[in-house]
Structure 1
């Protein structure tokens, strides 16, 4: 009986984390996979960057983190700040691979709220600024064909 009680406690403790991950995956499919595809590869020929092994570099600098909050699919997603944080963390955990900084700090609802309030102007132009900063640090982002 003690073993069953311990097992039940362990399983119940794991439920919130598992539910958050499942919710993030569902929200990714509903809000992001239309462009970035279910496997994160995007559609580079159509201007949709590949996440796989590349998206993590944006988490390396504050400007990159802000950029991620202003891509059209995020800023217009109608998800809550907490849901967006969960989706971004799901993306990082699933596809960033070695591009994820060693000192990566997961997104949280407060950071998402604050970054969404920043005025970055034109997201395409802002991305260029972020990529230049990353390149100066020896990091490279996925190709992005937008002018």
Structure 2
């Protein structure tokens, strides 16, 4: 069957626009704000207010999460928590969400000299092998406690 040139042009335009048979096909995922990615990827466990659930093993972000931004070990830890590992976000988006979390929920735990995560750092830290995320958190929390810095309750053994 031969298409009329105008029909062929309209068909090509529809494909280029990403509209096929009534459904939308996007060539690229649209950029979402860090807050939107937080809502889509983190709220299910941590809640909109960042409170988490100690009983459920989900740490409270509020006035605690910033403590993990103080050194490379803590920054590595937050790149390997299950919510980040399974977030299906690019490393640039992870950096944005992490900075959103730190600034929104870090409160008194966020160091005055906080330096934001960037894509290159996220690339580097996510490449570090972490075999025991619970053990790493335990070690970091103990180190922070020696410095007088508290972290959220965490019930895992």
The two structures have a TM-score, normalised by structure 1, of: 0.83
Rounded Cα–Cα distance in structure 1 between residues aligned with 2:106 and 2:76: 17
Unpaired runs of 5+ residues, structure 2, are 1-30
Rounded Cα–Cα distance in structure 1 between residues aligned with 2:51 and 2:70: 21
Matched, 1:113 2:123: yes
Which residue does the alignment assign to 1:10? none
1:45 partner SS: coil
Rounded Cα–Cα distance in structure 2 between residues aligned with 1:85 and 1:56: 14
Note the alpha carbon deviations across 1:17-69, whole angstroms, 9 max, x for none.
Answer: xxx8x610010011111100111011111110110111100001110000000
Note the alpha carbon deviations across 1:53-87, whole angstroms, 9 max, x for none.
Answer: 11100001110000000000101111001100000
Note the alpha carbon deviations across 1:92-125, whole angstroms, 9 max, x for none.
Answer: 1111101001111000011001000001211111
Q: Give aligned pairs, total.
A: 127
Residue 91 of structure 2, aligned match among 81, 97, 100 = 81
Question: Aligned Cα RMSD in Å?
Answer: 1.1
Report which of the two has the higher share of helix.
1
Give 1:1-147 correspondences, 5 Å limit. 23-147=33-157
Higher radius of gyration, 1 or 2? 2
The two structures have a TM-score, normalised by structure 2, of: 0.78
Rounded Cα–Cα distance in structure 1 between residues aligned with 2:153 and 2:121: 26
